[in-house]
Amino acid sequence: MLTETFRALRPTVVLLVLVTIVTGLLYPAVITGIAQVALPVKANGSVLSDVHGQPIGSALIAQNFTGPTTFHPRPSAAGKDGYDASSSAATNLAPGSKDLRDAIAKRVSSARAEGMTGDLPADLVTTSASGLDPDLSPEAAFLQAPRVAKARGLDVAKVKSLITAQIEAPLLGIIGEPHVNVLLLNRQLATLSATTPGK
């Protein structure tokens, strides 16, 4: 056994070094090189910029919206105040957790205060797995339409048709769920307001 151990030392050291070079350095470097040349926007995190070229966030990452004039994303447990894109996290609360029940109850009553009636879609009042879920279910977006329309002085039907246009359908009808990206929806909303002056 001792001779076998001794004989294994050189292959161990050499293979670890070679595989580290090939899979640990060359492989990610080559992928990065191709990605940065061919698809720089996606490879750098699908960052969106304002008119001055300043980054305003990522199309893939939730950011918080709190005002009455915008659609609000799902609640977030990422970081201390939520939506921390350098510290993704979930609540990890148990199905029988009192804290979870209380948090959901609180969100349900503020939804009621906004005038939402009937059973609420679950995604609207629960936190996501990453804390950075950029999407809402169409139902959760439609429920917010009256508030947004009122705050912006827009026709509700117009806001709802904007949501409908933004819904991403499942691939082949089965892979994924229909969803609306909140950041993109809110950006579209700004253009909608701008084209209807005087409201």
69-128 binders of other proteins (CB under 8 A): 70, 74, 78, 83-98, 100-101, 104-105, 108, 118-123, 125-128
Asked if 34 interacts with other proteins (CB under 8 A), we say yes
> Which range of residues in 62-70, 145-153, 155-163, 191-199 is near other proteins by CB under 8 A?
62-70
98 vs 198, beta carbon nearer other proteins = 98
157 vs 165, beta carbon nearer other proteins = 165
CA–CA separation, 55 and 22 (whole Å): 35
Sign of CA dihedral 194, 134, 77, 81: negative
Among 32, 164, 191, 196, binds other proteins (CB under 8 A): 32
Under a CB-based contact definition with an 8 Å cutoff, are residues 182 and 136 in contact? yes
The label of the residue with tokens 């359908």 reads 169
Provide the phi-psi class of 142: left if phi over 0, else alpha when psi is between -120 and 50, else beta.
Answer: alpha
Q: How far is the CB of 120 from other proteins (least distance, A)?
A: 5
Sign of CA dihedral 171, 176, 179, 181: negative
Asked if 192 interacts with other proteins (CB under 8 A), we say no
Under a CB-based contact definition with an 8 Å cutoff, are residues 77 and 156 in contact? no
Asked if 37 interacts with other proteins (CB under 8 A), we say no
Identify residue 133 by its one-letter amino acid code.
D
> Which range of residues in 51-59, 142-150, 156-164, 191-199 is near other proteins by CB under 8 A?
51-59
Q: How far is the CB of 165 from other proteins (least distance, A)?
A: 18
Asked if 43 interacts with other proteins (CB under 8 A), we say yes
Among 37, 80, 130, 142, binds other proteins (CB under 8 A): 130
What single DSSP character describes residue 45?
T
Asked if 45 interacts with other proteins (CB under 8 A), we say yes
Under a CB-based contact definition with an 8 Å cutoff, are residues 64 and 73 in contact? yes
